[in-house]
Amino acid sequence: MKIRNRYAPSPTGLQHIGGVRTALFNYLFAKSQGGTFVLRLEDTDRTRSDSAFVQDLFDTFQWLGFHWDEGPDVGGPYAPYIQSERAALYQKAAQELLDRDKAYYCFCSAERLENLRKERESARSSETGYDKLCRNIPKDAAASRVKAGEPHVIRLKIPLGQTTRFHDRLLGDIEWKNEDVNPDPVLLKSDGFPTYHLANVVDDHYMGITHVLRAQEWLPSTPLHTIIYESFDWEPPEFCHLPMVMGSDGKKLSKRHGATSVDEFRRQGYLPEALLNYTALLGASYEEGKDVYTLEEIVAAFDVDKLNKAPAVFDYKKLAWFNGLYIRAKSDKELAALALPYCEGLIKENSASFVGAMSLIKERISLLSEIPSKIAYLFEEPPLLEPSEFFPKKADLAKTVELLELGKKLIPAASRKSYEEAFFKEEAEKAAALAGVKIGDLMTPLRVAITGARVSPPLLGSLRLLGEEKSMARVEKSLSLLKAALCE
């Protein structure tokens, strides 16, 4: 049997990292088994579906770098892959269930259903869902009412007094009493559009889906889906309900934990390789002692039988660590190209200085969005800080002026690109010894004058990129500030 699985999102919001994990695991399973991965858009929620969310879906997976074999944008033998374009198929399927006496027409108005809900609420009744009022209307009478144009929906007949059983690849054999299944749910709405449950089952059947990998939050729907399959006498696919993705507090991952949509992660400066790599680890086991994988390596190592039953915890710090690894693996030129969109307003083009700045900050960042603040001093005059910000430990204003004068003498040679770090350190140590201080204390005033901060990227690299003229100008400006304070 050739494996066919699918990712079937509803285009009612931005792509969530949990949904992407589902899509990725389906892709990995299909590719690891030589199968086919399908995208299907379940857009039957006409009030919330939006073309902007469809575009976000396409953009997300193009950015992440993996794609489906069949889908709305690439076609395939089971097109169309958009549910709103398959309405006739669902209507035919609903009629088949009516003919099999597995479904029935329901004429209850929204007002009646709302009153029923309120009555139960007032009586503190444990009953939920539909009360089956129309279930036993004679077929001929129901057909006459439909023919007369009376508004109606089509409901599924849940078999009474039975237990529904199905097997889950991860969770094993599961039993569900039918009395605990949503009673006689709507299959076809009054506007002729299907509900999620009917469309999902019909499409999985007619698209030849053999395996359904989806989040465990859908587990309560599976008994209902199994009943629908049995009502048609169709063989259901193999189910595998994936572990949930939770926040650090043990609750379902949401915005209160941090970024959740791929668009947010992208804007914050995560790399697609890092996000993909980390997402693949959420609830899955691979090679012991190894964390970093290419997509091809993940495909080769993926085993659906090694998925974890327990929820996966989304660790933002671990993701940032992954991102830092991938950032440091980029060449300066590659990193500069990735960083350029984040530096709008700071630089206009990918200059040699901008590329050179990447080597100074690679080891100091986890996100692309951190780059502008780290390198701004190289392209804009940094703010002139208060005199006290220049002071090394245990140094006063007069000593700070002395140290900055000594530091200034290092600039001409240090500004040359051929000047090696060992020579710079040797000359700095000589100057520090002359002043009777540690090398770090000597560098503090010079660092503040050049970068506008007490903590900054490497000073030698900064002097090289700025050049002697700009570096000297910044030091002279700082010396003027300090000397003016000395005269007060």
- For residue 31, indicate whether it is catalytic: no
Beta strand 211-215 pairing with 238-242: parallel
Give me the catalytic one of 147, 255, 290, 393.
Answer: 255
User: Which residues are 148's β-sheet partners?
Assistant: none
How far apart, in whole angstroms, are the C-alpha atoms of residue 226 and residue 310? 24
Catalytic residue ranges:
255
